[in-house]
Amino acid sequence: MRFNRELYPKIALLKSAYSFTNRAYVHLDCDDGFYYVDLTPKPGCPIITEEEFSNEMLSQSVRHEIYTQTKTLRELLVARAMASTVIYDTSEDTYEPTTEVQNDAAKQILTDWFEAHDQA
């Protein structure tokens, strides 16, 4: 099988090939314009068709594109979530949470969002 390098990212090829390693031995190669895939079925496993592999390539390409487009947003969400868990007592130079600060933080963490905002 051959796949146009302009249409598919390399990572999609690798992930697609990996998804079939339980059913076939996979050999990958490329030249300036194409990726080449050679699949040899393992004993007792069904043959993998070109259509099946092509669908997996398309699926992995879309997954990679979504990953690329949403990477920054996911990083910001995780950073925001991590930053909001840090509680500093500004009256001291070192971080020593008081019991009141600890209790307030625990209450915020353990309170259901819907309960806190009176929504059902």
Q: Where are the domains of the chain?
A: 2-85
For the ranges 28-32, 80-84, 104-108, 115-119, the one whose mean pLDDT is highest = 28-32
Quote the pTM value: 0.62
Lowest-confidence region among 10-24, 30-44, 71-85, 98-112: 98-112
Mean pLDDT of 10-35: 94
Burial of 105 (0-12, 13-18, 19+ CB in 10 A): middle
What pLDDT was estimated at residue 82?
82
